[in-house]
Amino acid sequence: MPAPRSRQAIRTSAPARRQGATSEWPTGARGRPARALSFHRRCAFCGAASQNTLRGFRMRLSRYFLPILKETPKEAEIVSHRLMLRAGMIRQQSAGIYSWLPLGLKVLEKVGAIVREEQNRAGAIEILMPTIQAADLWRESGRYDDYGKEMLRIVDRHERDMLYGPTNEEMVTDIFRTAVRSYRDLPLNLYHIQWKFRDEVRPRFGVMRGREFLMKDAYSFDLDAEGARRSYNKMFVAYLRTFARLGLTAIPMKADSGPIGGDMTHEFIVLASTGESEVYCDRDLLDMPVPAVDIDFDGDLDPVVKSFTSRYAATEEMHDADVFGALPGERQVTARGIEVGHIFYFGTKYSEPMGAKVAGPDGAERPVHMGSYGIGVSRLVAGLIEASHDDAGIIWPESVAPFDVGIVNLKPGDAATDAACEDILARLEAAGRDVLYDDTEGRAGAKFATMDLIGLPWQVIVGPKGVADGTVELKRRATGERHSLPIDQVLARLSGA
């Protein structure tokens, strides 16, 4: 990543902007019950409180595995890569191939969970296809020879040609054709979240552009192009909601439809000053309302989709300077962007050669119309950091933070301080919060630096002086605000409604 060209790069503090709408700080001594924090489990997007199944059990830093690096490994160029290595989230194993350490894995899983929830909400059905595929399948579509060196080819002990899947159109088409015969079973959308491998010539930027990556890919099947459009719209809306829940401003941009043609392909681009490519869009898109949790996916989604697609938004390849220039000056936004999702209608490109046909109402068989819809889950983790960090480290949106709260014990070994920390830990966990308790020996400065680096949304700083008069300090990572508050008040704030 080149030094971020700051040319009009817009500051996107999407998480801050979206979450900052309501002040979480107590309003004063009136005794008025200050509003409890709305954690993502009860947020406007989810609609319902859900069980946090990813929560660890009494997570003490002294017993955790968090290999923090004080210095930046020299290979890391962009900020997300640097911070992920420094915060002990990932570890490189080969070029473009990474192990995910506990902190990184938690974020990866939380991102995946949100993606999954929104796919399910939109009516997509989860499956899991293998990472290793048979070459024969790809010979059917003709892509075995076309795909080139990016495909990692493997020969098994029986000398059969296999490959590590870079994508799954062929495989899902095979599943479909052996199981579905009638238009009555349509529409159908099958997705999975699986590791993929593309043997990039030059992997770089950490997990942003690794060779192995975790991706959600969905595949829709419809009787005709009109049905395919409805399926496309569902995914379009699901993507808007997914990225919004992740605290990101992601803009759907017209993408190159290649040989297929048509207007049904969009890239979802997160704006971040360190983005990989230049993008252009109408400022209106930045504040466009995202469909609410109760949107009817079986209803007409065209108006929602059109409200986005009717406004100018394009990547460098698709940019039309004349059309863009016709916008009022204050609405012309030039920014840097990171592609985090791509949706695509490709008609009968695979169903035709692979014989995935269904009988229509008239009894005649015809190839199904398909679309595919990808979200780079592992890439998103890096994208989130690109969009939300400062000099001290990561600033996680609450929806995907590895822990909701960090407790900093400033004087481990001091009976009163230890007791206060244990009490806060137990009560926050009882309230369903995911908490990391720093019970390690060490200087305050080092502990603060670590907490800031790993970017948990809230820090509860507990020292002997405060404990003596019943207060602890509550720090909000995103803003740096710190307030000394009575312990009960802090618990009330952090415990949620």
Q: Which residues bind RNA (CB under 7 A)?
A: 1-2, 68-75, 77, 86, 92, 94-96, 149, 198, 200-205, 209-211, 213, 215, 267, 276-277, 339-340, 342, 374, 376, 378-379, 392, 410-411, 443-446, 448-450, 452-453, 461, 463, 465-466, 473, 475, 482
Q: Say if residues 324 and 278 touch (Cβ distance below 8 Å).
A: no
**Would you state the structure tokens that stand for residue 410, as one six-digit string?**
């400033």
Of 468, 410, 467, nearest in space to 441 by CA = 410
Q: By C-beta, is 46 or 251 nearer to RNA?
A: 251
* Pick from 392, 403, 400, 405: nearest CA to 460: 405
What is the number of H-type helices and E-type strands within the chain? 15, 24
Least distance (Å) between residue 147 CB and RNA: 11
Nearer to RNA, 263 or 481 (CB): 481
Could you tell me which of 217, 168, 227 has the C-alpha nearest to residue 358? 227
Distance CA 393, CA 401 (A): 13
State the nearest-atom distance from the C-beta of 224 to RNA, in Å.
Answer: 26
Residue 137 vs 253, nearer CB to RNA:
253
Q: Residue 200: exposed, middle, or buried by beta-carbon count in 10 A (0-12, 13-18, 19+)? A: middle
Query: How near is the Cβ of 42 to RNA at its closest, in Å?
Result: 28
Q: Quick one: angle between helices 102-121 and 225-245, nearest 10?
A: 140
Is the CB of 140 or the CB of 199 nearer to RNA?
199
For the bound state, the minimum distance from the C-beta of residue 279 to RNA, rounded and expressed in Å, comes to 13
In the block, tokens 């014989």 appear at: 355
**For RNA, the closer CB: 3 or 29:** 3
Pick between residue 397 and residue 455 the one whose CB is nearest to RNA.
455
Compute the distance between CA of residue 479 and CA of residue 20 in angstroms, rounded to an integer. 10
State the nearest-atom distance from the C-beta of 1 to RNA, in Å. 6
Two tokens at 71? 């210095």
Three-state secondary-structure class, residue 467: helix
Residue positions counted in the chain = 497
Query: Judged by CB, which is closer to RNA: 32, or 74?
Result: 74
User: φ and ψ at 50, to 5 degrees?
Assistant: -125, 155
Q: Judged by CB, which is closer to RNA: 46, or 109? A: 109
Q: Provide the token pair at 288.
A: 């466009």
| Residue with Cβ nearer RNA (158 or 443) | 443
Is residue 116 helix, strand or coil? Answer: helix
**Please, what is the minimum distance in Å from the beta carbon of residue 273 to RNA?**
16
Asked whether the beta carbons of 239 and 301 are under 8 A apart, the reply is no
User: What is the crossing angle of helices 487-495 and 415-430, to 10°?
Assistant: 30
What is the distance of C-alpha 286 from the center of its chain? 18
CB of 463 to RNA, least distance (A): 3
Q: Quick check: 147 and 133 in contact, CB under 8 A?
A: no
Which CB sits closer to RNA, 427 or 476? 476
Six token digits for residue 83: 């911070």
> CB of residue 174 vs RNA: minimum separation in angstroms?
21
Question: Is the CB of 347 or the CB of 393 nearer to RNA?
Answer: 393
Taking the least distance from each CB to RNA, the nearer of 149 and 184 is: 149
Tell me the closest approach of the beta carbon of residue 154 to RNA, in angstroms: 16
Minimal distance, residue 267 CB to RNA, in Å: 6
Structural contact between residues 83 and 394, judged by C-beta atoms closer than 8 angstroms:
yes
Residue 394 tokens read as: 């990561």
Q: How far is CA 276 from CA 198, 215, 336, 384, in A?
A: 19, 19, 7, 14
Least gap, CB of 138 to RNA (angstroms):
17
Question: What are the backbone angles phi and psi of residue 408, rounded to the nearest 5°?
Answer: -105, 115
Least spacing, CB of residue 374 vs RNA, in Å: 6
Residue 147, CA distances (Å) to 143, 152, 377 in order: 5, 10, 23
